[in-house]
A and B are shown apart, each in its own frame.
Chain A
Amino acid sequence: MLLARRILGDAGEPRFAGKRVERLPVDAASAVRRRLRGRTDAGTDVAVDLERGAYLRHGAVLSDEGDFIVAVERTAEDALVVRLTAASCAARVAAAARIAHAFGNQHVPVEVGPDELRVPITTSREVAMATVAHEAADGVEVSVEPVRLGCTEPLIRSMHAH
């Protein structure tokens, strides 16, 4: 078991050039974890024990073993992608507010891009689609696509105070 206790850097840095890269698959839900265990694509058993608050972004180097490094491979997973395509800025803002309210009420994390909202499917494709079914109209496109959610930074989460 290879034990990784800190993030050493990014796999793209020159100091790691030429080294073989073993990739540890990490999904969006696991990227915020400080302790986890898994196997690299080459079969190395890796245990991760990081400081709290660490984030397992794509390319994060967890170990440098001399001839090879272990790097985080953020995996693509099915996500609901809502694209706002209305020509009017006001119409896009209104649609974004309605859609964000619907997902906020489910307490699911989201990723916000330019004119696009990406939501992990935590229940089922059908339930996720139903959340925005009434919004699917001119100016709003809804699809399920494989996405590397939270590839470089954590997803946004809503609060639920009652």
Chain B
Amino acid sequence: MSAVGDPVRIGIGGPVGSGKTRMIERLLPLLHEAGLSVAVVTNDLVTREDAERIAAGGLIAPDRVVGVETGACPHTAIREDPSVNLAAVARLERDHGPLDLVIIESGGDNLAATFSADLVDWWIFVIDVAGGDDVPRKRGLGVTQADLLVVNKIDLAPYVGADLALMRRDVAAARGGRPAIFSDLGTDESPRAILDELFRAVLFDRAPAAALIAPAGQPGP
């Protein structure tokens, strides 16, 4: 375990409407099922819409969700000056600790948004097929640098004319071997795949035995 009072912190970033909040809603029951103590921090520009949605969803105790209003470019609060988010994490740990995991959702931002290593230990960038099948080819920092890239809403591809095969090729080229998951959060498989990667890459010492698998693309221990 990490030091007491110092939970693992993960970030979830990506453009507005890509499915970040929905992903949290799908992961929370699985994380609870795995026995983890979890809290959530959401970042919005001038509202607490995402925090209120998660808190009202019945998936987590409402007082384990904190909404941060950044009042400026949302990426400033996750990269250059994460102090407001660190304060929120400290408050959650004080009130509900020891926590295993704090999920920090970025306010919807552009493709250049990245998380500071001062704030999170690992981060996901979420894009979606309805945002355009050329997004992976644009190679924003989120697409190239995130620990896990999730290309969401693949079920919508036929309806928005997105070329999934093209997106898979572009993602492979942009990621240089780093993990990427094409997801439909309406299924059970996609949230499980994201959870498995979370346990493999960063929650390795808190994983159920079945999830203690080898680094991506390599044989097991």
Contact = CB atoms under 8 A, between A and B. Distances in A.
A86 B75 CA distance: 38
A142 interface: no
B204 A1 contact: yes
Interface in B162-221: 200-202, 204-205, 212, 214-215, 218, 221
B221 A37 contact: no
B145 interface: yes
B163 to A, nearest CB: 22
Contacts of A45: 214-215, 218, 221
Interface of chain B: mostly helix, strand, loop or mixed: loop
- Contact size class for B? 20 to 34
Interface string A120-141: 0011100000000000000000
A122 B144 contact: yes
Contact of B79 (A33, A37, A51, A107): A107
B121 A35 contact: yes
A34 interface: yes
Nearest to A159: B80
A39 B139 CA distance: 27
Contact of B202 (A3, A29, A37): A37
A160 interface: yes
B72 interface: yes
Interface in A37-78: 37-39, 45, 47, 49, 51-52
Contacts of B145: 29, 122
Given A1-B204, A29-B145, A39 B80 contact: no
Nearest to A38: B215
Contact of A35 (B8, B214, B218): B8
A33 B123 CA distance: 11
Given A32-B117, A161-B81, A37 B204 contact: yes
A51 B72 CA distance: 31
Contacts of B201: 36-37
A83 B5 CA distance: 45
Given A1-B221, A37-B215, A123-B141, 16 more contacts: A1-B204, A3-B205, A33-B117, A34-B117, A35-B8, A35-B122, A38-B215, A45-B215, A47-B205, A49-B205, A51-B3, A122-B144, A124-B139, A160-B73, A160-B75, A162-B72
30 contacts: A1-B204, A1-B212, A1-B221, A3-B205, A29-B145, A32-B117, A33-B121, A34-B117, A35-B121, A36-B201, A36-B202, A37-B201, A38-B215, A45-B214, A45-B221, A47-B204, A107-B79, A107-B80, A122-B141, A123-B141, A123-B144, A124-B139, A157-B80, A158-B80, A159-B80, A160-B73, A160-B79, A161-B80, A162-B73, A162-B76
Interface of A: 1, 3, 29, 32-39, 45, 47, 49, 51-52, 107, 122-124, 157-162
